[in-house]
Amino acid sequence: MNEQPLVSVIIPNYNYASTIGECIRAAKNQTYPAVEVIVADDASTDDSVAIARALDVTVLQVPVNSGVSTARNLGARHAKGEVLFFVDSDVALDPDAVERAVDHLREEPRLGAICGMYRAEPMFPDSLVKRYRAIQQYVWFCEVEGAIPGLHSALFAIKKETFLEIGEFNDRLRWTEEQDYGFRLNARYEVKAVPTIRGRHDHDGTLRVMLTKVFNRTRLGAPNWLRLNKLPGGAGTGYRALGSAFLLAAVIALVSSVVLGPWVLLAAAVLTGISIGLDKRTYGYAYRHHGILFGLQFTVLHLLVTLTSAVAAGIGILQGLLFPRMTQRLYRVENPA
């Protein structure tokens, strides 16, 4: 790699007019001097394209809405840089993010990709759900520092020659494209996540959108992790998976108390307490840094997310066990072993 390679910052976008400006300005305001910024727009219907063009960056457009993988691939094909830095259009990079990523890729020749992490504060802290999600993902991301079995596709850098070797993102996947690419990449290289490459993410602002996303990603991802016999870390650690199972059991006990009697309520309370204890780092961060009132609000939201994950994982695992061939064809995940 050259001493100071050109870096192509690729921003896939679909209807993120509310954040695309902040994202582009952060990408242009990097301490690293050799940067080109490319917005790959996936047929947006809002003002995203106009905002991007007004900020004087390269704008590419997909004719028909086709998903984030198609947008990322389009940006990579037109990139002139020796290094590709992919960042989602709802993430504002820290000023030194590109510089730090280039340092990692230069110093570690066998590194396939270097992934960054979200800050604990959202880009726009204008809802409780956003503040909750920022803390949740911050705690989880910080626990997976170092080598990871997957990929954080919202914030990562990769040499262009490595990207061409591995191939493009699978544009048939809408929820598991980063898992698929991460598995393929890990089969040949090491992928790392570091806390020194950071950005502020505009997290989901409503409970419905957040829970829908959690459910879909967990349901579709569970068969992959079951097949590979490993968990991704962060949200998917062994003790968090166990905590989800305990919470699901608590809800089942709560419902069955109508038939079995009120004593089952005690079992439900104990099971819920165990679930919270298994994920005490996440709860603890919220209480320590934001106080009791926010901590209680955080607890309610986190229990809902944990329960959603448990239900989705159960459905996904059943799909993987009952229909393994169909699942493998649908997700096309390659085993790095």
For the stretch 243-284, pLDDT in tens is 999 999 999 999 988 788 788 899 999 999 999 999 999 999
- Residue owning tokens 């108390």: 257
**Measured between alpha carbons, how far is 232 from 336 in angstroms, rounded to an integer?**
13
- Residue owning tokens 């596709």: 153
pLDDT at 337: 31
Across 13-17, 21-25, 137-141, 223-227, least confident range: 223-227
pLDDT at 325: 62
**Residue 328 in this model has a pLDDT that exceeds 60:** no
Contacts of residue 223, defined as CB under 8 A and 6 or more positions apart, other chains included, come to 316, 317, 319, 320, 324, 327, 331
Residue 42, CA atoms < 13 Å, CB-side half-sphere:
19
- Confidence band of 140 (pLDDT split at 50, 70, 90): confident
**Measured between alpha carbons, how far is 12 from 36 in angstroms, rounded to an integer?**
14
pLDDT at 114: 97
Instruction: Tell me what the mean pLDDT of segment 169-192 comes to.
Output: 88
189: nearest Cα among 224, 151, 143: 151
**Measured between alpha carbons, how far is 65 from 77 in angstroms, rounded to an integer?**
18
Retrieve residue 337's tokens: 């072993």
pLDDT at 333: 41
Amino acid at 125: P
The pLDDT tens digits for 91-124 are 999 999 999 999 999 999 889 999 999 999 999 9
Instruction: Tell me what the mean pLDDT of segment 165-177 comes to.
Output: 87
pLDDT at 53: 97
**Measured between alpha carbons, how far is 308 from 207 in angstroms, rounded to an integer?**
12
**Measured between alpha carbons, how far is 309 from 75 in angstroms, rounded to an integer?**
33
**Residue 204 in this model has a pLDDT that exceeds 50:** yes
pLDDT at 2: 80
Residue 229 is classified by DSSP as T
| Start-end of CATH 3.90.550.10 domains in the chain | 7-203
Residue 227, CA atoms < 13 Å, CB-side half-sphere:
28
Query: Kindly report the CA angle at 66 between 73 and 148, in degrees rounded to 5?
Result: 50
Instruction: Tell me what the mean pLDDT of segment 58-70 comes to.
Output: 95
In the chain, pLDDT over 90 holds for what percent of residues?
72
Residue 53 is classified by DSSP as H
pLDDT at 224: 67
Give backbone dihedrals phi and psi of 129, rounded to 5 degrees, phi first.
-65, -40
pTM of the entire structure? 0.85
C-alpha torsion angle, residues 132, 133, 136, 137 (rounded to 10): -160
**Residue 235 in this model has a pLDDT that exceeds 70:** no
**Residue 237 in this model has a pLDDT that exceeds 80:** no
Give backbone dihedrals phi and psi of 13, rounded to 5 degrees, phi first.
-145, 140
**Residue 199 in this model has a pLDDT that exceeds 50:** yes
**Measured between alpha carbons, how far is 71 from 75 in angstroms, rounded to an integer?**
6
pLDDT at 300: 97
Q: Which CATH class is domain 7-203?
A: alpha beta
Cβ atoms of residues 109 and 84 within 8 Å: no
- Confidence band of 241 (pLDDT split at 50, 70, 90): confident
**Residue 12 in this model has a pLDDT that exceeds 70:** yes
Average pLDDT, the chain: 90
pLDDT at 208: 95
